[in-house]
């Protein structure tokens, strides 16, 4: 069975208005190419809401590189069945002209939170993300919206935006779903060659090394960072774009670790960019 596919904003608004008496409206924004991580988002939404809208939109304004946009996996037919199987009532899958009928001239930004990590290497990315999520919030007007913790900086920016702009929406973070070898689920994983796929779990292992150091009482972010980088060093095929120990709300590097932090990294394996992060708690005294 496929989920009902809706392609226009007025039709989606009508479907949501009709469903509102059934209970809370849930929104799961995605770019499609759905995997077990998305399944968790949709499943959780369907447990908590009377009506779940999954959106599938490969948003051009958040891609800093055209070839990344073009290569991004698109599997709409399978995604429609996947959404229905996990409990979404409707899939909102607009085309670019529906979302951007004219040149977009209004932008939503949280520059402090977007300055480092992915934001530093993907100029304009989080402006595109925040703007399209604001649009989806206004189109669907959900009561709850679900985002994966794998995209930690995105999640922080959406939370900040929701609070700062007073969207009456509860943001629900969903823990990262991993392959048995630890690799975080990602639509981009399917772009890896078999050899790259075998090496890919090294990213998570490196972040776990950071977590161990923090748990063991390390308070120097530089030392923790070096431990994680050392774990990656044997893997010559892995090119580190960034690996940082950051404040989980502001997504800015810390020097001393006196409260929980995120170890967050982006690496390249050939032409594929992977990101991951782990939450690191200092020991309690």
Sheet of strand 272-280, all strands in order from the earlier edge strand to the far edge: 238-246, 261-269, 272-280
Residue 170 found at the interface with a second copy (CB under 8 A): no
User: What Rg value do the Cα atoms of the chain yield, rounded?
Assistant: 19
Nearest residue (CB) to a second copy, 169 versus 237: 169
Nearest residue (CB) to a second copy, 138 versus 193: 138
Q: What would the x/- binding string for a second copy be over residues 225 to 254, using CB under 8 A?
A: ------------------------------
Mark the segment that binds a second copy (CB under 8 A) among 34-42, 52-60, 131-139, 193-201: 131-139
Residue 38 is among the residues annotated as catalytic for this protein: yes
Q: How far apart are alpha carbons 266 and 68 in whole angstroms?
A: 15
Residue 108 found at the interface with a second copy (CB under 8 A): yes
| Backbone torsions φ then ψ of 198, nearest 5 degrees | -70, -35
Mark the segment that binds a second copy (CB under 8 A) among 40-48, 144-152, 164-172, 193-201: 164-172
Nearest residue (CB) to a second copy, 107 versus 195: 107
Q: How far apart are alpha carbons 84 and 80 in whole angstroms?
A: 6
| Per-residue DSSP letter, 217 | T
Which residues fall within 8 angstroms of residue 235, CB to CB, at 6 or more apart? 199, 202
| Backbone torsions φ then ψ of 54, nearest 5 degrees | -100, 130
| Per-residue DSSP letter, 220 | B
| Backbone torsions φ then ψ of 147, nearest 5 degrees | -135, 145
Residue 130 found at the interface with a second copy (CB under 8 A): yes
Nearest residue (CB) to a second copy, 201 versus 248: 248
Q: How far apart are alpha carbons 151 and 184 in whole angstroms?
A: 10
Site for a second copy (CB under 8 A): which residue of 2, 4, 5, 13? 13
Q: Residue 54 is encoded by which pair of tokens?
A: 């999954």
Nearest one of 8, 5, 6 to 98, comparing CA atoms: 8
Site for a second copy (CB under 8 A): which residue of 38, 122, 135, 235? 135
User: What is the closest distance, in whole angstroms, from the C-beta atom of residue 272 to a second copy in the complex?
Assistant: 31
User: What is the closest distance, in whole angstroms, from the C-beta atom of residue 131 to a second copy in the complex?
Assistant: 7
Q: Residue 229 is encoded by which pair of tokens?
A: 């980088």
Q: How far apart are alpha carbons 94 and 11 in whole angstroms?
A: 11
User: What is the closest distance, in whole angstroms, from the C-beta atom of residue 137 to a second copy in the complex?
Assistant: 9
Q: How far apart are alpha carbons 170 and 24 in whole angstroms?
A: 11
Residue 141 found at the interface with a second copy (CB under 8 A): yes
Mark the segment that binds a second copy (CB under 8 A) among 32-40, 45-53, 104-112, 172-180: 104-112
Beta bridge partners of 154: none
Site for a second copy (CB under 8 A): which residue of 154, 160, 187, 277? 160
Nearest residue (CB) to a second copy, 52 versus 132: 132
Active site residues: 38
Q: Which residues bind a second copy (CB under 8 A)?
A: 9, 13, 102, 104-113, 130-131, 134-135, 138-139, 141, 160-161, 163-168
């Amino acid at each position: 069975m496929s989920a009902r596919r809706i392609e226009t904003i007025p039709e989606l608004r009508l479907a949501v208005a009709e469903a509102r008496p059934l209970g809370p409206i849930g929104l799961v924004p995605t770019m499609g190419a759905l995997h077990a991580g998305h399944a968790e988002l949709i499943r959780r939404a369907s447990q908590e809401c009377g009506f779940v809208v999954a959106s599938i939109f490969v948003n051009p304004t958040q891609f800093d590189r055209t070839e990344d946009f073009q290569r991004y996996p698109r599997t709409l037919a399978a995604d429609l069945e996947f959404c229905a199987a996990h409990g979404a009532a409707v899939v909102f899958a607009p085309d670019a002209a529906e979302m951007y009928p004219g040149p977009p001239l209004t932008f939503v930004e949280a520059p402090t939170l977007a300055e480092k990590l992915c934001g530093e290497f993907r100029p304009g990315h989080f402006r595109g993300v925040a703007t399209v999520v604001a649009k989806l919030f206004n189109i669907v007007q959900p009561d709850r919206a679900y985002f994966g913790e794998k995209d930690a900086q995105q999640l922080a920016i959406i939370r900040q935006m929701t609070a700062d702009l007073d969207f009456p929406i509860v943001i629900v973070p969903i823990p990262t779903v991993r392959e048995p070898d630890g690799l975080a689920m990602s639509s981009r994983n399917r772009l890896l060659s078999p050899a790259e796929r075998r090496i890919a779990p090294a990213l998570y292992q490196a972040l776990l090394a950071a977590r161990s150091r923090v748990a063991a009482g390390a308070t120097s972010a530089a030392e923790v960072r070096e431990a994680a980088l050392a774990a990656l060093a044997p893997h010559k095929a892995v090119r580190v774009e960034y690996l940082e120990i950051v404040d989980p709300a502001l997504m800015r590097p810390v020097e001393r670790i006196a409260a929980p932090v995120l170890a967050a990294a982006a690496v390249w394996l050939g032409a594929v960019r992977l990101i991951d992060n782990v939450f690191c708690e200092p020991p309690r005294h």
